[in-house]
């Protein structure tokens, strides 16, 4: 007899209305708490966008140091993702989120009071450890507690939280910048921008005390009674029992991370993670105010346009939440990648002709919209669901390390590409955008050829699908 899908209510199965309401409310509540890790991820990565110009002047930075200012946190992200993989598979997904909250808090306070550039970098790297850990643990936690029918949109809640954090800090940066002159912002304003991160960090620390560990992790550690209790709160008593029995029946055998059956999945996850970054998204998220200043806008106008970027990112992420479980992962990734490539090509053409104003802003917003509805949330959804349960923490950590490494490379090299005298003379600041557009085309082709559709499948069904693909491949 085929077991019931994991954490998935069958369409015709009766369930008391009050029980359905309670279990649905519980899932949404713990998803919201876990997604606070995503909000801090977005908040802490994007705070640099409003401060980098002031930091460049305050610490007298050259182009290489400016790139390091934006990307040093990403070095911490790589360390955080690596540590999170080991911790999540040994101590649990929830404890990784707790570690992230602590790192965020230390970083917010430390960067705000740093008196030297080196000390500032140390605290940014500590924050990066928190970002890297949260970027892996939040979607992983949500994927493991979500019913299959909701998993796409619930994991997309994490991306919604990320872009909400970005928009929130754009607004905070703008309001703080308005409190004084450029001289005040260069000496003091940027410190308040970083210090503002203490509030959401404390919120996450307090709320994490309340949420449980995922039933899949508990079962893997032999804690069956706890796993039953959590699964029952997610789906109700009867369905929770079916869920645990189904996990037992479909449990993967012992697997090595690099055996033939999982190496293909790992490579696909790594390539998707890298492509999310080399298509250029963080150039706009980290450097947007400086890009808009390049075309003649002042500080206030540049920060306002950056808020508009964050708002578009948020709106189209909401759209992705409502479409990803219907349209599917593969279709959204292909369409979004192609749309991003077209917009980047237009931005490059505008930069080469030294065009500015509304037209350039529209191309940037079009690019952000395409990313937010596809590559942004869907990459994290796919990474959270394609790996086998016993390896999910470590495999997702490896893919996340690759993602943050690519992010580091792009963030570090953009100022060097954008300010290189030879490239500027020939391309007028357009070269990076044409380069990122090429990677967008590569992503569309890769997804079309290599990624199967995973919508509406339980995590165990996806594992079985990969095994069948492996048998056919041989």
List, for residues 61-117, the tens digit of each pLDDT value: 887 888 788 778 888 988 998 888 888 888 888 999 999 999 999 999 999 999 999
pLDDT of 24 reads 75
Separation CA 287–CA 284 (nearest Å): 5
3-state secondary structure 58-121: HCCCCHHHHHHHHHHHHHHHHHHHHHHHHHHHHCCHHHHHHHHHHHHHHHHHHHHHCCCHHHHH
DSSP letter, residue 389 = G
Residue 352: pLDDT over 50: yes
pLDDT band of residue 253 (cuts 50, 70, 90) is very low
pLDDT band of residue 228 (cuts 50, 70, 90) is confident
Helices 329-352, 299-327: crossing angle, 10 deg rounding? 150
Q: How crowded is residue 290: how many other Cβ atoms within 10 Å of its Cβ?
A: 20
Residue indicated by tokens 């401060």: 51
Q: What percent of the chain has pLDDT over 70?
A: 81
Domains of the chain are 21-211+252-473 (1.20.1250.20)
Q: How crowded is residue 356: how many other Cβ atoms within 10 Å of its Cβ?
A: 15
Residue indicated by tokens 């998803």: 31
pLDDT of 120 reads 95
Residue 191: pLDDT over 70: yes
Summarised one tens digit per residue, pLDDT across range 15-61 is: 445 555 556 788 888 999 999 998 998 898 889 888 888 998 999 98
Arithmetic mean of pLDDT, 217-222: 83
Separation CA 368–CA 363 (nearest Å): 9
Lowest-confidence region among 254-263, 280-289, 324-333:
254-263
Residue 268: pLDDT over 60: yes
Helices 260-278, 281-294: crossing angle, 10 deg rounding? 10
What tokens were used for 422? Answer: 């030879």
Arithmetic mean of pLDDT, 163-186: 89
Lowest-confidence region among 296-300, 386-390, 399-403, 431-435:
296-300
Q: How far is CA 22 from CA 28, 237, 251, 391, in A?
A: 10, 12, 28, 31
Average pLDDT, the chain: 81
pLDDT of 258 reads 59
Separation CA 433–CA 81 (nearest Å): 28
């Amino acid at each position: 007899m085929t077991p019931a899908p994991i954490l998935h209510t069958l369409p015709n199965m009766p369930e008391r209305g009050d029980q359905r309401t309670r279990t649905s409310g519980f899932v949404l509540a713990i998803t919201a708490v876990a997604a606070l890790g995503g909000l801090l991820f977005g908040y802490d990565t994007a705070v640099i966008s409003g401060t980098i110009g002031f930091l460049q002047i305050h610490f007298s930075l050259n182009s290489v140091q400016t790139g390091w200012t934006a990307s040093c946190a990403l070095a911490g992200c790589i360390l955080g993702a690596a540590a999170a993989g080991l911790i999540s598979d040994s101590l649990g997904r929830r404890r990784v989120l707790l570690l992230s909250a602590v790192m965020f808090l230390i970083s917010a306070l430390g960067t705000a009071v740093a008196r030297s550039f080196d000390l500032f970098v140390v605290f940014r790297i500590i924050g990066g450890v928190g970002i890297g850990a949260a970027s892996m643990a939040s979607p992983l936690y949500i994927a493991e507690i979500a019913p299959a029918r909701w998993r796409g949109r619930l994991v997309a809640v994490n991306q919604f939280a990320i872009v909400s954090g970005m928009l929130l800090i754009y607004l905070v940066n703008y309001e703080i910048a308005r409190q004084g002159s450029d001289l005040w912002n260069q000496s003091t304003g940027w410190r308040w921008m970083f210090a503002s991160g203490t509030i959401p960090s404390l919120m996450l620390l307090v709320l994490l005390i309340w949420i449980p560990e995922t039933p899949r992790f508990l079962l893997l550690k032999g804690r069956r009674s706890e796993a039953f209790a959590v699964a029952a709160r997610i789906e109700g008593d009867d369905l929770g029992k079916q869920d645990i029995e189904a996990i037992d029946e479909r449990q993967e055998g012992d697997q090595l991370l690099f055996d033939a059956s999982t190496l293909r999945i790992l490579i696909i996850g790594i390539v998707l993670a890298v492509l999310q970054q080399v298509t250029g998204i963080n150039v706009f998220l980290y450097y947007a105010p400086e890009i808009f200043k390049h075309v003649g806008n002042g500080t206030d106008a540049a920060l306002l346009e950056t808020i508009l970027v964050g708002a578009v990112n948020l709106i189209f992420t909401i759209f992705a939440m409502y479409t990803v479980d219907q349209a599917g992962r593969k279709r959204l990734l292909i369409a979004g990648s192609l749309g991003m490539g077209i917009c980047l090509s237009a931005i490059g053409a505008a930069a080469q002709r030294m065009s500015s104003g509304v037209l350039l802003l529209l191309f940037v917003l079009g690019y952000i919209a395409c990313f937010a509805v596809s590559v942004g949330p869907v990459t994290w959804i796919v990474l959270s669901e394609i790996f086998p349960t016993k390896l999910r923490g470590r495999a997702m950590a490896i893919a996340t390390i690759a993602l943050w490494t690519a992010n580091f490379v792009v963030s570090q090299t953009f100022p060097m590409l954008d300010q290189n005298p030879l490239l500027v003379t020939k391309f007028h600041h357009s070269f990076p955008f044409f380069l990122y557009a090429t990677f967008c085309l590569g992503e569309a082709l890769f997804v079309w050829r290599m990624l199967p559709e995973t919508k509406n499948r339980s995590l165990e069904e996806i594992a079985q699908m990969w095994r069948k693909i492996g048998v056919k491949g041989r």
